[in-house]
Structure 1
Amino acid sequence: MHSGVVGCDQRIAWLLTTCRILGPDPVLARRDGFIKALAEKGVHVDSSRVSRWESGLQPLPMRVPATYESVLGAAEGSLVAVVAGLRRAFGNGTTPKDAAGREGDLSDGDVDRLMSLTESGRAHGGQWLRLAGQLNRYDRVYLRKRDWQDLCGQLVSELAASVGVGYVRRYEAAASLIRHPRAQRHLTRALGSFVTHPDTQVVAPVLNLLAEVTDEAAGDLVLRMLGSEHRDLRRAAASVAAVKVARGHFEAEALKQLEPHVVGSLRRGESLDGRLDFFDLAVQLPEDCWDRIQPAVRNRRAFDLVTRSRQGGELVPWTQTSTVVKEVASKVQAETPAHHPSEPDLMLHRLLRESLLHAHKARRHHAALLLAASPYAPAVSRHCLALAKQQNDLLAARAWTVLMRVGHGDRQDQVVLQAMAEPRASIRARALVNVGLMDVPLRPDEAQVLWSQLDGATKPVERQATMFALGMAGAAKVAELAKDESDWPGRSARWWLDQGPARHDPDVGGPADSQQLAPAR
């Protein structure tokens, strides 16, 4: 990621270029047609300016991705959020004033309207992103304590149930607010309250926000959660800890406190996929930490996996998977409509490889988000669904995880059928999470089949994934289960009734909200 050839700027340029030249409009695919469309929006640039934008040789202000969204008819913030996350995670970051992708303040009336929409739960992700960008323009923002609490509580609740680009945009809004001196305390409290609720069914999408905070209190909270009795909370905390270690958030004493958690996880006989979050943490530990814990890691296979990944940065040796990834990349490019013949897309190949097999979860995540925001997404989805049938457990699990990011297109029935038929418990759990992320409701008979497949021998991870699928789908089965007085399934079902089903942003797939564009620079 830090390479001068394939760093953040090159990936951002690739995203903008592919969205233009592989988009549905052949006129915009031509540079002259795109420049004319820009002029009609009030953005006057020449061919050399567009060439510089799409070269990857210089950092671009967020104004440029926002301009591409407007001209290409993408949902507001759909490119800006992906670019902001990539830059924040692996680049030099952005200034608060640049984060929103727009120049100039909103009017008081616009801010009032956005506040009303967000607090009432009627805002889409682009509006959350716009409000967060406006608030972040100022170091001092006055809101009543109750208003901060309502705003942050609503955002955290929506973050837990948002899907696709709706989640990406809300996450970037929350990542912006949690770094704001006035909002941070309120958002951190809302986050902590949500994930520590005894019946919470969704942890990681919210807890990930702690990776954006550098202060010692956030690190202490992550360390405490690593010792939780809640398995999902421990795993989510390990994932956050790996990111914080990679970003240098922990001091030496905190790093030492991480070591026994890593050793304990590597000693267990779980599959690599089952302990992937702790594996990521082991790979990210500094050399002196890893040297200290090596003698305690007596599981030879786990030791070899971590050692190899620390050296090569991938979950499995590239020689074992190169043929599969190359074949998928070739098919994805061939099946994505193009207006002109093109050379093999090496960045597509790299992003597929990283999204499936990179050792660091953050790298996998952001590679998948780039693919999801590109015109390649439908073909990537199609081939990942096929890859999810692989006999190789790790590759099948990774394919399902990439599907969570890129979506399911028109293959939602196939997703349900594959989830029902998958015999491997941990992989079936990932398939069931995908069922919960679909933007079409489950039929009552499908919900009943999913529930009837559970029995006394069902592993907790599969049981929770089934409840996630039903809860996110808003299945009527959840209300029936909520009447059960026992801890399971009653309390879990009642939590889903209170939380509500998945949030699918209504603006996704349509044009961005119209706003006056200032010249992009």
Structure 2
Amino acid sequence: MGRLRAAQIPADVSRVSRWESGQHPVPPSATAVYESETGMPPSRLLAVARSLARSSGQGEERACLDQVPPPADDVVDDILERAGRPEARVSGAEWLALAVAVCGFDHFYMPPPTWQQVCDRLVSELARTRGVDHHRRHEACVTLLDHPVAQPHLLRSAGRWLTRRDVQVVTPVVSLLAEVDGPAASDVVLKLLRSSSRRLRAGTLGVVTTKLARGHLDGAAQHELEALCARRLARTTSTSEALSTLDLATHLPESSFDRLLSAMRHTGTRESVLRAREHASLVPVQTARGIGKRVGWAAQLAVVGGSRTTPEPDLMLDRLVQEALFHVHGWRRALAGRTLGASPYADLVADRALQLVEDDNKVVGLRAWGLLGSLGHGGRTHELLERTLAASDPERQREALYALSLSPRPLTHTEAGSLVDLAARATEPDVRYGAVLTLGMTAPRHLDAVGDLDRASQRAVAWWHAAGPVLRDDDTTGAAGSAA
């Protein structure tokens, strides 16, 4: 508290307790002090705090979005100048600072070509970053979408990215459309959902679900989504597809949901849909709570180490773990995972998640891989690779590959060679796609080794070469971490 007071931020035990319990939003000036004291990258906590404030929908929390002091004019000019030069670096913290500066004015003039150049670059970097670097750029994009001048340019950039031939990275960019309430954005996501590309359809479904939950879609769209749920739930699907369909079904209007239930013939499916609707959980509530408590308690015990003092159960930690793993709504899972990732428990929870990836309950195993993707995996990259190669079925292997693609470090030559071999022998298209995606994100110099496996791989490699390699900010990985 001494550092907070030294920075002229009102702080006492009661106030800090309310911040930490979530009863009151944390002022942006206080998050900066926390970041400095804990050695976190700039805006690491700020990006999470702004996401939480926005998702709350409550006046006091949302008011925090406007409390971030904009950077000085010369700082903004410097960021803009570098943003206009492709070879110059702009960190995630700087992108967020620029977005905050823009939104400090009702009108922020730049020539349209400059706006478009800046937005094109930001969207491209959003798709080619992971972890902290990605979260800060995502918050910058969402902030700009709130500005009437910036919004059309950013949406145009997102549209151009998503309609590029053979686009390989969809979800980070299409997720921006969930933040825009209007017929144009709704029409775009519905068109993407009808696309002939399975990858575009899969990447868009969660965004459509979020827009449905936020009341962005009209009656005709709701009827279309009801029919989509009925088709997907009536046939045998992959577990991941079934989980995403549950998410969509639980957000249908009551009349649509009732019709969907009445048409179901499979008792187990009906029970799963009802449970998801009533308890917002992908697994039975007792299972979700039990795993949340076990993982949270193990993380707490690891923090105290050899101390003789037994900690009090941290109910907020248990709830975050439970939601990050099993909340029916993908956006809530992502937000809980992002919040956990910014906490002191991140590495410890990741250790426990790694123990769950081969759980006998396939939903638990798949969601454990998903949580590892949200949290990051620090020094566990090689262990994740070994588990990926040894995964028991293609669906788990695909989820493992996605988590591996978020590695905070580039793969070594030997590790990349193992992925090349996996892609060459894979018989499932999704596994081969996952291997190529992971190479693109973690070992782009090895992409050419998979370029002649089939036409899909050839097109994917060409896309990666055109899009550019993964980016890693200097303030999160050191100066050497620019690209794998």
Question: Does residue 1:363 correspond to 2:336, yes or no?
Answer: no
For residue 96 of structure 1, report the CA deviation from its aligned partner. 8.6
Contact 1:38-1:71 at 8 Å conserved across structures: no
2:482 maps to which residue?
A: none
Residue type at the aligned position of 1:465: G
What is the aligned counterpart of 1:508 among 462, 466, 476? 476
Find the residue that maps to 2:188 and give its secondary structure.
helix
What is the RMSD computed on CA atoms of the aligned residues? 2.4
Question: 1:280, 1:361 within 8 Å by CA — same for their partners in 2?
Answer: yes
Amino acid of the structure 2 residue aligned with 1:88 = R
Change over 3 Å in CA distance of 1:477–1:60 after alignment to 2: closer
5+ unaligned residues in a row in structure 2: which ranges? 479-484
Structure 1 distance, partners of 2:72, 2:313, is 47
Deviates more, 1:312-321 or 1:449-458: 449-458
Question: How many angstroms apart in 2 are the aligned matches of 1:134 and 1:450?
Answer: 43
Tell me whether 399-408 or 261-270 shows the greater mean CA deviation. 261-270
2:142·2:176 contact (CA, 8 Å) conserved in 1? yes
Instruction: Determine helix, strand or coil for the equivalent of 1:391.
Output: coil
The question of 1:161 aligning with 2:135 is answered no
2:145 to 178, 201, 204: 178
Q: Secondary structure at the match of 1:508?
A: helix
Unaligned runs of 5+ in 1: 1-34, 511-521
Matched residue, 1:70: 36
Q: 1:193 to 1:57 in 2, by over 3 A?
A: same
Question: Which residue does the alignment assign to 2:300?
Answer: 333
Tell me which residue corresponds to 2:260.
293
Bigger RCO of structures 1 and 2 (CA < 8 A, at least 6 apart): 1
1: CA distance between counterparts of 2:348 and 2:267?
A: 39
Percent identity of the aligned residues? 36
Deviations, residues 325-363 of structure 1 (Å, cap 9, x unaligned): 332222111112579763111111111111111111111
* Kept after mapping to 1: 8 A contact 2:26/2:49: no
- Alignment match, 2:3: 37
Task: Tell whether the 8 Å contact from 1:66 to 1:101 is kept in structure 2 after alignment.
Answer: no
1:179 to 1:156, Cα distance in 2 relative to 1, 3 A: same
From 347, 350, 366, the counterpart of 1:381: 350
Aligned to 1:513: none
8 Å CA contact 2:338, 2:375 repeated in 1: yes
Structure 1 CA distance for aligned equivalents of residues 17 and 233 of structure 2:
49
Alignment-mate amino acid for residue 96 of structure 2: L
Report if aligned partners of 1:274, 1:426 keep a CA contact under 8 Å in 2.
Answer: no
The 8 Å contact of residues 25 and 60 in structure 2, kept in 1 or not, is answered as no
Is 1:188 aligned to 2:158, yes or no? no
245-254 vs 356-365, which deviates more?
245-254
Q: Secondary structure at the match of 1:102?
A: coil
Deviates more, 1:438-447 or 1:356-365: 438-447
Q: Report the 3-state secondary structure (helix = DSSP H, G, I; strand = E; otherwise coil) of the residue aligned with 2:333.
A: helix
Q: Are the counterparts in 2 of residues 436 and 470 from structure 1 also a CA contact under 8 Å?
A: yes
Query: Is 1:498 the counterpart of 2:466 in the alignment?
Result: yes
Distance in 1, Cα, partners of 2:148 & 2:409: 40
CA distance in 2, matches of 1:223, 1:386: 38
2:201 is aligned, of 202, 211, 234, to 234
Q: Distance in 2 between matches of 1:212 and 1:305?
A: 29
1:161 Cα shift?
1.4
CA deviation vs aligned residue, 1:14-70 (integer Å, no higher than 9, x gap): xxxxxxxxxxxxxxxxxxxxx222244454645554445445433444333234323
Task: Give the whole-Å Cα distance in 2 for the aligned partners of 1:485 and 1:469.
Answer: 16
Aligned position for 1:472: 441
On the 8 A contact 2:21/2:316 being kept in 1, the answer is no
2 CA distance for matches of 1:326 and 1:64?
Answer: 30
What is the Cα deviation at residue 440 of structure 1?
2.2
- Partner of 2:378, secondary structure, is coil
Query: Does the 8 Å CA contact 1:372/1:407 hold for their aligned counterparts?
Result: yes
- The amino acid of 1:92's aligned partner reads Q
1:387 positional shift: 1.0
Q: Which moved more, 1:496-505 or 1:397-406?
A: 496-505
Contact 2:25–2:61 at 8 Å: present in 1 too?
no
What residue is the counterpart of 1:450 in the other structure? 419
Which moved further from structure 2: 246-255 or 212-221?
246-255
Deviation at 1:73, TM superposition (A): 3.3
43-52 or 365-374, which deviates more: 43-52
Q: Deviations over 1:167-208 (max 9, x none)?
A: 111111101112210111111111111112221111111101
Aligned equivalent of 1:116: 81
Q: What is the rounded CA distance, in whole Å, between the counterparts of 1:194 and 1:435 in structure 2?
A: 24
Aligned to 1:9: none
Change (3 A) 1:486 1:378: closer
Q: Is the 8 A contact 1:447 1:470 kept in 2?
A: yes
TM-score w.r.t. the length of structure 1 is: 0.85
User: Which 10-residue stretch deviates more, 264-273 or 63-72?
Assistant: 63-72
Change (3 A) 1:408 1:54: closer
What is the match of residue 393 of structure 2?
424
Give distance in 2, aligned partners of 1:55 and 1:363: 18
Q: 1:455 to 1:181 in 2, by over 3 A?
A: same
Equivalent pair of 1:444/1:475 in contact (CA under 8 Å) = no
Provide the residue aligned with 2:382 in structure 1.
Answer: 413
The 1-side partners of 2:468 and 2:443 are apart by 7
* CA separation of 1:40 and 1:61: change in aligned 2, threshold 3 A: closer
Q: Distance in 2 between matches of 1:72 and 1:447?
A: 33
Distance 1:319 1:485 in 2: 46
Residue 323 of structure 2 aligns with an amino acid whose one-letter code is E
The alignment covers a number of residue pairs equal to 474
Measured after TM superposition, the shift of residue 427 of structure 1 is 0.9
TM-score of the pair, normalised by structure 2 = 0.91
Residue-by-residue CA offset, 1:131-172 (whole Å, 9 max, x unaligned): 101101112111111111111111111111111111111111
Which range moved further: 439-448 or 454-463?
A: 454-463
Q: 1:93 to 1:144 in 2, by over 3 A?
A: farther
CA distance, structure 1, for counterparts of residue 42 and residue 136 of structure 2: 9
Report the Cα distance in structure 1 between the residues aligned to 2:24 and 2:162, rounded to whole angstroms.
40
The answer to whether 1:342 aligns with 2:311 is yes
Task: Return the letter of the residue paired with 2:444.
Answer: A
Partner of 1:304: 271
Q: Which residue of 2 aligns with 1:264?
A: 231
- After superposition, where does 1:131-146 map in structure 2 within 5 Å? 131-146=98-113
In 1, the alpha carbon distance for the partners of 2:426 and 2:5 equals: 63
- Confirm whether residue 223 of structure 1 aligns to residue 209 of structure 2: no
Distance 1:462 1:409 in 2: 23
Q: How does 1:10-21 map to 2 (within 5 A)?
A: none
CA spacing shift, 1:330–1:486, aligned 2, 3 Å? closer
